[in-house]
Amino acid sequence: MAIKPLTELTDRSKNNALFPKAMAKIHCFGAGLVGSYVIRYLASKGHEVHAYDQQPYRVEDVPGVEVHYVEHDEYPHELIQGSVTDSFVINMLPGSIGHVCTTLLAEQPCALVDLSFSKFTPDRDEQKARDYGATILWDVGIAPGLSNMLSAHAYRKMGPLRDLKIWVGGNPTGPWGEWKYMAPFSPSDVIEEYTRPARVIRDGESVVLPALSDRHRVDVDERGEMEAFLTDGLRSLLNSIPCENMSEYTVRWPGHIQKFIDHRDSGDLDEFQLIEEWRYDPKVPEFTWLRVLAEGSDGTNMEWTVQDYGGDDGHSMARTTGLVTAICTEAWIEDSKMLPPGVHAPEVLSDEVLSRVIREMASQGVEITGPIV
């Protein structure tokens, strides 16, 4: 199903720049590093937040949060008391199970924010969502998410693009440990990202290239030289923004991905062992870095850089991802008609929503440089 044209939806909230305050009941599926950040943030804003997880220890003592324990053979939506029509749902489960919840909730007239980042993308449920009156906003993290919104802004300003490149990575501040890496979100999703072929645009056509290909060095602000490689992160952008060449690259410390390739090619890649070896360690300093570089057909460039080193409220990837999710959710709560029934990618959100995201992230200490939105 093709993504809706950007112009179809972006006029809906042009007159809502003030975003009058509104409270909501919000069901949050998943209380991991990113999920717990979103839960704490929304609870601090006064919303009625319900958290669903098998191990919700990160949010058990958060004021304003009602915790629901999920058994290993249950799906969180099965535990919701009553109808979801009067509330919002945010799906932050790992992709391997998150996509199941999303496709089932598409059969209910609910408002759903999906951050599960599965290869089974919610746009497959477009017709079902329309038929049942479900409204789904998906991939609203930092990348995909903020990267999509910035790319769409560039398109609205410059028209069809000649080139669009996105680089993103959450890493230790130095090449830490044997792998020079620790996973800032579900390690199984990282492994999936490293193995799924990368869809890109070349000469105006969608093509599929091997994951981890097109390796090159990139200069990362304040950290020095790192390594970038193709991953399958463009997703909805492949169909929504006219562009001659489009790529997204994951950024890691040099040596990390070669070690992964060596283990993969030798046949001794153990996913369960990697999950343990890549486990996030809160004592290790880390940072998140995003660059979006768009070139118009006349050679004009627009470029943004986002950088964060975390804080007392969470590590950097949780903050930067969770802030985008939470702020977009609040914008939707405050403008209930922002999106009609169906499935919507983040690039359809208006510049007013994007500006709000940027302002709030900056107020939380996230460094953002680039053209003013």
Pick left, alpha or beta for residue 203 (phi over 0 → left; psi -120 to 50 → alpha; otherwise beta): left
pLDDT tens, 193-224? 999 999 999 999 999 999 999 999 999 988 99
Higher pLDDT, 5 or 362: 362
> DSSP character for 314?
B
| 336 part of a folded domain | yes
Residue in the structure block whose two tokens are 């020079």: 180
Q: 170: which residues sit within 8 A by CB, 6+ positions away?
A: 184, 185, 286, 287, 288, 316, 317
pLDDT tens, 117-175? 888 999 999 999 999 999 999 999 999 999 999 999 999 999 999 999 999 999 999 99
Per-residue model confidence (pLDDT) at position 119: 87
Are residues 263 and 155 part of one domain?
yes
CATH number (domain holding residue 195): 3.30.360.10
Given a contact cutoff of 8 angstroms between Cβ atoms, the answer to whether 322 and 34 are in contact is: yes
- CA distances to 103, 137, 169, 171, 343 from 123, rounded to whole Å, are 10, 10, 25, 30, 6
Are residues 209 and 188 part of one domain?
yes
Are residues 340 and 295 part of one domain?
no
- % pLDDT > 90, the chain: 77
**Which amino acid belongs to residue 146?**
L
Per-residue model confidence (pLDDT) at position 271: 86
Per-residue model confidence (pLDDT) at position 183: 86
Are residues 164 and 33 part of one domain?
no
Given a contact cutoff of 8 angstroms between Cβ atoms, the answer to whether 287 and 352 are in contact is: no
- CA distances to 11, 88, 148, 235, 240 from 6, rounded to whole Å, are 10, 24, 11, 15, 7
Expressed as residue numbers, the domain containing 45 is 6-141+319-350
- CA distances to 113, 117, 133, 135, 348 from 128, rounded to whole Å, are 16, 20, 8, 10, 20
CATH number (domain holding residue 90): 3.40.50.720
Are residues 263 and 128 part of one domain?
no
The number of domains in the chain is 2
**Main-chain phi, psi angles of 320, to 5 degrees:** -70, -40
- CA distances to 65, 233, 234 from 185, rounded to whole Å, are 22, 15, 19
| 371 part of a folded domain | no
Are residues 38 and 13 part of one domain?
yes
Per-residue model confidence (pLDDT) at position 3: 40
Per-residue model confidence (pLDDT) at position 320: 96
| 302 part of a folded domain | yes
| 358 part of a folded domain | no
| 232 part of a folded domain | yes
| 248 part of a folded domain | yes
| 1 part of a folded domain | no
pLDDT tens, 273-322? 998 999 888 889 999 999 999 999 999 999 999 999 988 767 899 999 99
Are residues 287 and 158 part of one domain?
yes
Res 18 pLDDT > 50: no
Q: Which of 101, 138, 108, 144 is nearest to 123 (CA)?
A: 138
pLDDT tens, 99-108? 999 999 999 9
Are residues 211 and 66 part of one domain?
no
Q: Is the peptide bond before 5 cis (omega within 30 degrees of 0)?
A: no
Are residues 289 and 254 part of one domain?
yes
Per-residue model confidence (pLDDT) at position 81: 67
Q: What are all long-range contacts of 114-117, with beta carbons under 8 Å and residues at least 24 apart?
A: 114/138, 114/139, 115/34, 115/90, 115/91, 115/139, 115/140, 115/141, 115/321, 115/325, 116/91, 116/92, 117/141, 117/144, 117/189
Are residues 301 and 342 part of one domain?
no
What is the separation, in whole angstroms, between the first and last Cα of the chain? Answer: 29
- % pLDDT > 70, the chain: 94
Of the candidate ranges 42-56, 71-85, 170-184, the one whose mean pLDDT is the lowest: 71-85
How many angstroms separate the CA atoms of 65 and 72, rounded? 21
3-state SS class at 44 = helix
Are residues 265 and 163 part of one domain?
yes
Given a contact cutoff of 8 angstroms between Cβ atoms, the answer to whether 145 and 22 are in contact is: no
Res 17 pLDDT > 50: no
Q: Where are the beta strands (DSSP E) in the chain?
A: 25-29, 48-53, 65-69, 88-91, 111-114, 135-138, 161-172, 198-202, 205-209, 216-220, 224-230, 243-252, 286-296, 301-308, 342-344, 367-369
**Which amino acid belongs to residue 88?**
F
| 34 part of a folded domain | yes
| pTM of the shown model | 0.92
Rg (CA), the chain: 19
Give the pair of three-digit tokens for residue 193.
């990202």
Are residues 334 and 300 part of one domain?
no
Residue in the structure block whose two tokens are 């090619």: 265
Q: For residue 65, how many C-alpha atoms fall within 13 Å in the half-sphere facing its CB?
A: 28
